[in-house]
Structure 1
Amino acid sequence: MQPEIRPAGVEDAEAGAWCHLLCWQEAYADLVDPAKLAERTADVDRRIERWAAAAAEGRKRWIAVNPDPAAPVRDRVVGFIGIGPGRDDDRPAPVEVEAIYTRRAWWGTGLGSRLMEVAVGKQPASLWVLANNEQAKTFYRRKGFVEDGTTAAEPFFDVTEIRMVRT
């Protein structure tokens, strides 16, 4: 059974926040300093506030809802994508994929592709990805994104990111 993909609302803040933090823990376990990862994923209340504020502001996020109706709140959302207008000064595309994650149990199921299709479709877009995240870069390349040579220091996890663009 496939997860339902729908726009996220304020009522989804807690489940979305749990998904966000758990996705970071699962995706970045071998990519980010373990102490930094533990520190950055420890405050679920702050992440819930950020999710609620984003929804209240009308930020565009879609969530993938766990098809198991008995799933606890921390497993109710199994993936999400957020998009917005390009934030870079040189704005290589009108849309930026601000975040896209799925829980590890859903890797390889096509859920990430479904999220990308719902939120972005085939339109030009840009995104930032951890420079050492080969799995994510492979996924984005399959979606038509290419590295454009731009790098940046990402302060939240203290890593380097690269920009990828689809024209």
Structure 2
Amino acid sequence: MTAPGFTIDTPRLEDAPAIARVHVESWRDAYAHLLEDHEHWFGAPALERRTAQWTRFLTPGDPHQGRSTAKVGRSPEGQVVGFATGGPSRDADAGPPLELFALYTDRAWYGTGLGRALVEAVLEGASASVWVAAENPRARRFYEKLGFAPDGAEKVEEHLGNLLDIRMVR
């Protein structure tokens, strides 16, 4: 899939460090004001954990591969500048059968259509749910533009310092 300025494709094992970088830097942009212990979440330890996570996920034979879809956005030079993952909903009470698990892009790519393209590449236009930090108005507005709306479900992410998430569905 191609759009002006970027390409969407399936990630390869050698993309793991670049995806991890996008993951950690995007978390910093989205959650630095909400999470304590910045070194743990956004520093070298986080980059190491995310690189290991993505390496496992992209290694042939990983059990998560058959249950989820991942796509990356690449700059014209081929650099990974965003990613999205999704698959069957993890919530027993969710109406839509699919869930968008993650969507993150480099800040320089905000507003370019990359995020929308990644979501649609993973969900293929289907109904889905997504969990969003209640105190992340930018993400909430983005998902609203894609047809998502809060359905009233909430959960507290204790491992993230009691961060409140809301579920949005379309």
TM-score range (shorter-chain normalised) is 0.7 to 0.9
Matched, 1:60 2:63: no
8 Å contact 1:36–1:157 — kept in the other structure? no
Matched, 1:96 2:99: yes
Superposition TM-score, scaled by structure 1 size: 0.87
Given the alignment, which residue of 15, 26, 29 partners 1:26? 29
Matched, 1:136 2:139: yes
Structure 1 residues 111-122: aligned runs within 5 Å: 111-122=114-125
Given the alignment, which residue of 137, 157, 160 partners 1:154? 157
CA apart distance, 1:9? 2.2
Paired residue secondary structure (2:160) = coil
Paired residue secondary structure (2:49) = helix
1: CA distance, partners of 2:104 / 2:159: 17
Map of 1:106 onto structure 2? 109
Structure 1 residues 34-45: aligned runs within 5 Å: 35-42=36-43, 43=45, 44-45=47-48
Query: Which portions of structure 1, spanning 4 or more consecutive aligned residues, are displaced by more than 4 angstroms?
Result: none
Given the alignment, which residue of 3, 7, 14 partners 2:6? 3
* Alignment coverage as a number of residue pairs: 158
Q: Which amino acid in the other structure matches residue 138 of structure 2?
A: Q
Given the alignment, which residue of 155, 164, 168 partners 1:164? 168
User: Identity across aligned pairs (percent)?
Assistant: 37
Segments of structure 2 that go 5 or more residues without pairing to the other structure are: none
| Deviation string, structure 1 residues 56-115 (Cα, Å, up to 9, x no partner) | 32242111112235xxxxxx3211100011001213211100000111111111111111
Superposition TM-score, scaled by structure 2 size: 0.86
8 Å contact 1:37–1:157 — kept in the other structure? no
Q: Which amino acid in the other structure matches residue 42 of structure 2?
A: T
Segments of structure 1 that go 5 or more residues without pairing to the other structure are: 70-75
1: CA distance, partners of 2:22 / 2:82: 7
| Deviation string, structure 1 residues 141-163 (Cα, Å, up to 9, x no partner) | 11111101110011342210000
2: CA distance, partners of 1:105 / 1:98: 22
